[in-house]
Structure 1
Amino acid sequence: MSKISRITTQKKHKDRYNIFLDDGKAEKYGFSVDEAILIEYRLRKNMELDDETIKALIHKDTLHKSYTLAINFLSYRMRSKKEIYDHLVKKEVDDEHISKIMEKLIAEGLVNDRQFADAFVRTRMQTSSKGPMLIKQELMQKGVDEPIAGEAADLYTYDVQYEKAKKLAEKKLHSGNRKSFRQQIQQLQGTLMQKGFSGDVVQAVTAELQEQKDDAAEWEALVKQGEKLLFKHQQKLSGFQLRNKMKEALYRKGFTIDLINTFLNENLEE
């Protein structure tokens, strides 16, 4: 049996206390506890503690410190269950303690994957250019079950998708690109799909963008591309072979045959 001889506040952590014990022979440091444990067990000077009680106090304090790690991790933003579990594993918390901490957090309503998923989708809608399918993937990577992630992604309505996808597409379309309009549209379709927008939204947005084709910009892009190709091929080819090679190359770049023929007629000798 040991007796508490002193209780001192830690210098760097004012909410933690060092417990010194006297076993009848000499005073020595025993263990430390959080203020919550000190109050719960009413620890005080001259209080007698047996070995089992000391062991229980150390175990209780270790669990409390691990729980505090989880609370601190949650203080910055909402977290999924997997994120908290992974954080505690990284901090080398005992598996037994992790299970108890997770149970407590869930019981207290501090961890709820459905609420987390809904909040995550709303935040991504406001702060990113990502579509719902990509956001759903992010949720699943964070350990949220597919049905919950899918329901949360449904908060990203068609109208919101359309406006965000259209804004993103128009920004890229008017960024001084020197490619053909058709090639730009094709690249935009790929970009929007990669961003996680649904196929019907991508189709609707690109269909509307077709009306924004600028003939002057298209001609300027063709001239720029055509001059590069002409410089490349006319050193080895001429006549029909050069014309045919130019026509094939420019068509693959998305320019219309009529526009290509106009350029070739102006720049190649018959």
Structure 2
Amino acid sequence: MRKISRITTQKKHKDRYNIFLDDGQKEQYGFSVDEAVLVEYRLHKGMEMDEATVTTLIHQDTLHKSYTLAINYLSYRMRTKKEMYDYLIKKEVDDEHITHIMEKLIAEGLLNDQQFAEAFVRTRMNTSEKGPMLIKKELMEKGVRDTLAEEAVASYTYDMQFEKAMKLAKKKFQSGKSKSYRQQLQHVQGTLMQKGFTADVVQAVAGELQDEKDDHAEWQALVKQGEKLLRKYQQKYSGNELHNKIKEALYRKGFTIDHINLFLDEQVDD
């Protein structure tokens, strides 16, 4: 039967200890453990160690190190169960240990997908331009069940969506003044859908923007686009052919026929 002959603190890791064993003939290094394992098993000089005990201590120390990895991973932000499981797999933690660690973290309230989803939605609402559908998609990609994700995004009310979507829409309009109103509106609607806002919110925002249409800005945009097209086409076309080329191009860009004809009458010679 071997006995613990010395316990020393590791130089680089002050919370880890080297255990030396003596079999009656010579002393040699046995294994190392974390301080938590040292305390839990009350390891001390002179304590007898059989092979089964040594194996248990090494197993517990490995488990403790893996658990510490998990705690460190949680220290940066909350995690879903799937994120934690994938992380432990990546760190090559034994399946048996993963099960134990996951159960312990859940029991301690450190892994809770419902709490994660609620906090995630609050953060996204406060710090991003994303709508509920995109946020729900992100939650499900992180492993949150569909029902939990749906419940969490329910806190993203219609009024909150509308306010955020309208703010984003107006910003997009400001950056697209050289385009026709129709083209800008289509772009804004597409952007809002991509951002995950619901169809009723996108429709309501579009309706609100109809009332804010600026005819002067629309005319300025048409003139800018028309003059650019005129410079492009007049090198190859003239007369009716030039008129038609410019008219078709401006119509595709979303300008009205009345405005297009007015521009052509003022700017393009017959």
The verdict on a shared fold, with TM-score over 0.5 as the criterion, is yes
User: What is the correspondence of 1:32-71 to structure 2 with a 5 Å cutoff?
Assistant: 32-71=32-71
Match of 1:108 in 2: 108
Match of 1:160 in 2: 160
- Separation in 1, partners of 2:57, 2:221: 76
Match of 2:184 in 1: 184
Match of 1:145 in 2: 145
Pairwise CA distance, 1:189: 0.1
- Separation in 1, partners of 2:212, 2:28: 82
- Separation in 1, partners of 2:25, 2:220: 95
Please identify, of 88-97 and 231-240, the stretch whose mean Cα deviation from structure 2 is larger. 231-240
After TM superposition, the score normalised by the length of structure 1 is 0.97
- Separation in 2, partners of 1:99, 1:25: 41
Q: Deviations over 1:130-163 (max 9, x none)?
A: 1000000000110111111111111111111011
Match of 1:174 in 2: 174
Match of 1:31 in 2: 31
- Separation in 1, partners of 2:12, 2:165: 51
- Separation in 1, partners of 2:177, 2:260: 18
Corresponding position: 1:200 with 2:200: yes
- Separation in 2, partners of 1:160, 1:25: 76
Q: Secondary structure at the match of 1:220?
A: helix
Name segments (4+ residues, structure 1) moved above 3 Å. none
Match of 1:4 in 2: 4
- Separation in 2, partners of 1:232, 1:174: 26
- Separation in 1, partners of 2:27, 2:160: 69
Q: What one-letter code is carried by the residue in structure 2 that aligns with 1:149?
A: A
Match of 2:122 in 1: 122
User: What is the correspondence of 1:65-84 to structure 2 with a 5 Å cutoff?
Assistant: 65-84=65-84
- Separation in 2, partners of 1:106, 1:185: 48
Q: Deviations over 1:48-67 (max 9, x none)?
A: 10000000000011001101
Q: Deviations over 1:35-85 (max 9, x none)?
A: 111111100011110000000000011001101111111112111001111
Pairwise CA distance, 1:176: 5.2
- Separation in 2, partners of 1:240, 1:160: 52
- Alpha-carbon RMSD across the aligned residues, in angstroms, is 1.0
- Separation in 1, partners of 2:118, 2:260: 51
Q: Deviations over 1:97-151 (max 9, x none)?
A: 1011111111111111111111110111011111000000000110111111111
- Separation in 2, partners of 1:38, 1:5: 15
Match of 1:257 in 2: 257
Pairwise CA distance, 1:25: 2.2
- Separation in 2, partners of 1:172, 1:110: 41
Q: Secondary structure at the match of 1:75?
A: helix
Aligned length: 270
Please identify, of 230-239 and 35-44, the stretch whose mean Cα deviation from structure 2 is larger. 230-239
Pairwise CA distance, 1:175: 2.4
From the superposition, tell whether residues 185 and 228 of structure 1 become closer, same or farther in structure 2 (CA, over 3 Å): same
Match of 2:246 in 1: 246
- Separation in 2, partners of 1:80, 1:154: 19
Pairwise CA distance, 1:216: 2.0
Please identify, of 38-47 and 14-23, the stretch whose mean Cα deviation from structure 2 is larger. 14-23
Match of 2:14 in 1: 14
